Structure 1
Amino acid sequence: MALVRYNPWQELNAHLSHINGLLGDTRVPSARIGRDFIRVPAAELHETDDAIILLLELPGLEAKDLDIQVTEDAVHISGERKSETKTENNGTTSSEFYYGKFQGVIPLKARIQNTNVTADYKDGILNLTLPKSEQEKNKVVKVNLEQPAA
């Protein structure tokens, strides 16, 4: 039986190479569905007493390219960034832009009134104001403390 010197760095390098392959394109968040990557827009949630404010980063898109559906407990968004084809005779074009379809579902922590949602889309930022339902606004839970038996 031959002795083989163990090199822990070789194993670590193999793992790092594998992880880098999985996370190769980290500029845009993505989710893997089957064999395809579906891009998910970056989101930010802010909750107040009366509403949930949802900001979505969607640069380079027009409002007509977006489909937003709001239920009582989630926001479903999908859209497509269409590529503009440019041809150049003398030179090369390099692009890091992502073109194609994207979709995402953002679960909400509280029930909302999905009939009173307001939206504002400016400079590639979609701002959704999702008012909470009256039951969520007035939700008070009474805590009963039992006295220990003496």
Structure 2
Amino acid sequence: MVLVRYNPWQELNALQRQIDRVFEDFPASISAKVPAAELHETEEAIHLKLELPGVEAKDLDIEVTNNAVKVVAERKSETKTEDNGKTRSEFYYGKFQRVIPLSARIQNTDVKAEYKDGILNLTLPKTEAEKNKVVKVNLQ
């Protein structure tokens, strides 16, 4: 019989490796499902830019209310057949949506949209009430 010295750290290291394997793809899978957004607000409008790589314009559904933008899209999978080898993909395929609340009320009937190279640009003009929101306060 061979005596083996007990190492308590060995069990903890094995547990850590198992936990790492569980969460290995977790951040990539979450961020891929929600398109990245960029908002820029001017006095006249709010400019929204969404990153939607791999999505065709016909697969986009955009709804604009006076205080939010909802984008629903679908990234369709490419079917590939390979005889040998394995494929590991971090791409997300399927439907996803994002609702972006806006900091000001907008005129949703005058929205301008442009979609090029996987980037959706929306120009959301503010309502007249929002444009004139600045109030001067007089001190007496």
Q: TM-score range by the shorter chain?
A: 0.7 to 0.9
Q: Which residue of 2 aligns with 1:6?
A: none
Aligned residue among 89, 92, 97 for 1:98: 92
CA distance in 1, matches of 2:78, 2:100: 29
Query: What is the TM-score when the length of structure 2 is the normalising length?
Result: 0.78
Structure 1 unaligned runs (5+)? 1-9, 31-38
Aligned residue among 18, 21, 44 for 1:50: 44
Q: Comparing both structures, which one devotes a greater share of its residues to helix?
A: 2
How many residues of Structure 1 are paired with residues of Structure 2 in the alignment?
124
What residue identity is the alignment partner of 1:29?
S
Give the superposition deviation at 1:23.
Answer: 7.7
Query: What is the TM-score when the length of structure 1 is the normalising length?
Result: 0.73
Aligned residue among 53, 56, 70 for 1:62: 56
Q: Which residue of 2 aligns with 1:123?
A: 117
Q: How does 1:1-150 map to 2 (within 5 A)?
A: 21=23, 24-26=26-28, 29=31, 39-145=33-139
SS in 1 for 2:23: helix
Give the superposition deviation at 1:77.
Answer: 0.8
SS in 2 for 1:26: helix
Structure 2 unaligned runs (5+)? 1-11
CA distance in 2, matches of 1:94, 1:22: 13
Identity of aligned residues (%): 69
